Amino acid sequence: MTTQNSRVSPSDFQEISRTKARYCRYVDTKQWSKIPSLFTTDARFEGFSFAPKPIDLDFFMKNLAERMAGCTSVHRVVMPDMVPTSPDTARVIWSMTDYNEWPNEIAFPGTDGAFGFRGYGYYEEDYVRSDDTWVISFTRLVRVRMDPILKADTRGVSNCKAAPVFIHPGLHWLDNL
């Protein structure tokens, strides 16, 4: 049990934040093979649209890759509230926003012509130190709002796709450091 003055050490805070940053980047850049390394082998997942009930890592990975196929996404997590639960475990709540746009119309309750959504909410997660690395053992996505993305939003501005003139992410920028 933690005490009110319990704090995650600065180095642990940085490593836990790095794990979550990698998760967001790997999802957005579709690096599916790298995502499992961020989780324990017995990790549990809740609150995802493709599986609102608890699921395991294999089911999560299979369905995440299928759901995000063709999707342009941007995930951001900020303001982590971290509390150690033991010397090698921590609980974190991340404030999150995501932008998800598909090339074809999707089903969005109460809206015709949605091609995606902007989401807002939180990730509630448990982390475990494993071989001096922090990995996620439990994650729950809690959405508090979702706004549909229409082909032309209310300002009359069409949604943009990444153009060839943009610089693409360096998928291996940090791999060998």
Q: Report the candidate in 122, 111, 98, 99 with the shortest Cα–Cα distance to residue 150.
A: 111
pLDDT of amino acid 6: 73
Give the tokens for residue 135. 């990995």
Q: Which residue has the tokens 């933690």?
A: 2
CATH topology of domain 10-106+113-150: Nuclear Transport Factor 2; Chain: A, (3.10.450)
Distance of CA 170 to the CA centre of its chain: 19
Q: pTM of the prediction? A: 0.85
| Calculated CA dihedral for residues 145, 150, 152, 158, nearest 10 degrees | 80
Q: What are 112-165's pLDDT values in tens digits?
A: 899 999 999 999 999 999 888 999 999 999 999 999 999 765 344 445 444 445
pLDDT of amino acid 157: 45
Distance set, CA 131 to CA 88, 128, 134 (Å): 10, 10, 8
pLDDT of amino acid 96: 97
Query: Bigger pLDDT: 2 or 118?
Result: 118
pLDDT of amino acid 168: 53
Question: How many angstroms separate the CA atoms of 149 and 166, rounded?
Answer: 22
Q: Note whether 53 and 129 are within 8 A (CB).
A: no
pLDDT of amino acid 91: 97
Question: pLDDT class for 175, splitting at 50, 70, 90?
Answer: low
| Most confident residue range from 25-29, 103-107, 147-151 | 25-29
Question: How many angstroms separate the CA atoms of 58 and 37, rounded?
Answer: 12
Calculate what percentage of the chain has a pLDDT beyond 90.
69
pLDDT of amino acid 156: 45
Mean pLDDT (the chain, rounded): 86
Q: What is the rounded end-to-end Cα distance, in angstroms, of the chain?
A: 36
Strand partners, 95: 78, 122
Q: Which residue has the tokens 């130190």?
A: 129
10 exposure class (CB count in 10 Å sphere: 0-12, 13-18, 19+): exposed
**Is the per-residue pLDDT at 43 higher than 90?**
yes
pLDDT of amino acid 53: 80
Question: pLDDT class for 177, splitting at 50, 70, 90?
Answer: low
- Helix or strand holding residue 57 (H, E): helix 57-68
DSSP letters spanning 87-124: TTEEEEEEEEEEEEE-SS---BTTBSSEEEEEEEEEEE
